[in-house]
């Protein structure tokens, strides 16, 4: 037993606790990199939700859960003589110094756009990539991937010069989508609908908005407002199946004034 161990503010103590758990806890002992993947993703989304809710107490806890996963994966890798937590800490420090030559070197920059451009150029050289898009995982959620590809392309100068051009492209895609719908061409409609979404991401990006964040906030708003409808109907002993659209819409308008 380890009755003498108490929580501290030391990172090294966290690493020691993980080392003990890997030996003495049956659940921790049986975990692998693969078994923890989905849990790690879940923790990241919970941290994002805490940020959206501006709940700093919850964010503190979720960041701790993410840090636990970092320590956990490092410990498992160390057991296989692949790398340890020190290698990870050294690696990220080395990367930050190398990719910020305007801070830790002699490079001169003029604003954050040039910093981003330099970052992408350095990254391509480091990894021997032939495309700035190579580092965007295909497994990212579609809206997020669209945003990241557009950001990376814009960082090297491939971007609309004026706001009006962005709107014109969106209107063009809307018209093309309408034509495929009217022609009842499902295959082309799917492609054109994708083009609209991609263009909408671009519109938002041009004004500094993040499509994934914006849609997630709207999803949450819809979720809360629809649950309000269900709650009010439940108080009357009803469900959405028992009433017409007009009745639900009345509660929806109520919800909009509250949520």
- How confident is the model at residue 1, as a pLDDT? 73
Within-domain flag for 18: yes
Q: How many CB atoms lie within 10 A of CB 195?
A: 17
Within-domain flag for 41: yes
pLDDT, tens digit, for every residue of 40-57? 999 999 999 999 899 999
Give the torsion through C-alpha atoms of 61, 62, 68, 71, to 10 deg: -120
List the CATH number of the domain containing 17.
1.10.287.1080
- How confident is the model at residue 127, as a pLDDT? 72
**Integer angstrom CA distances of residue 244 from 140, 228, 235, 236, 251:** 39, 16, 17, 14, 12
Mean pLDDT of the chain: 92
Given 37, 62, 97, which residue is the final one in a domain? 97
Within-domain flag for 179: no
Which residues constitute the domain of residue 84?
11-97
**Integer angstrom CA distances of residue 49 from 94, 217, 219, 254, 258:** 31, 9, 12, 25, 20
pLDDT, tens digit, for every residue of 123-150? 777 776 778 888 888 888 899 999 999 9
pTM score of the predicted model: 0.71
Length of the chain: 259
- The angle formed by the CA atoms of residues 58, 62 and 65, to the nearest 5 degrees, is 145
């Amino acid at each position: 037993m380890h009755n003498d161990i108490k929580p501290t503010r030391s990172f090294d103590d966290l690493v020691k606790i993980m080392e003990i758990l890997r030996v003495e806890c049956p659940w921790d002992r049986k975990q692998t990199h693969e078994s923890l993947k989905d849990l790690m993703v879940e923790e990241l989304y919970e941290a994002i939700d805490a940020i959206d809710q501006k709940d700093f107490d919850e964010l503190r806890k979720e960041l701790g859960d993410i840090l636990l996963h970092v320590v956990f994966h490092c410990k498992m890798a160390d057991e296989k003589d692949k790398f340890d937590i020190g290698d990870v800490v050294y690696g990220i420090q080395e990367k930050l110094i190398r990719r910020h030559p305007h801070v830790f070197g002699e490079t001169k920059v003029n604003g954050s756009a040039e910093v981003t451009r330099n970052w992408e150029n350095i990254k391509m050289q480091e990894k021997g990539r032939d495309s700035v898009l190579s580092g965007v995982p295909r497994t990212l959620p579609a809206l997020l991937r669209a945003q990241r590809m557009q950001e990376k392309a814009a960082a090297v100068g491939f971007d609309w010069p004026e706001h009006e051009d962005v709107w014109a492209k969106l209107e063009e895609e809307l018209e093309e989508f309408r034509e495929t719908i009217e022609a009842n061409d499902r295959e082309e409609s799917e492609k054109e609908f994708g083009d609209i979404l991609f263009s909408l991401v671009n519109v938002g990006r041009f004004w500094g908005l993040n499509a994934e964040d914006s849609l997630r906030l709207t999803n949450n708003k819809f979720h809360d407002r629809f649950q309000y409808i269900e709650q009010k109907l439940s108080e009357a002993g009803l469900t959405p199946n028992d009433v017409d659209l007009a009745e639900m819409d009345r509660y929806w308008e109520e919800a909009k004034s509250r949520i």
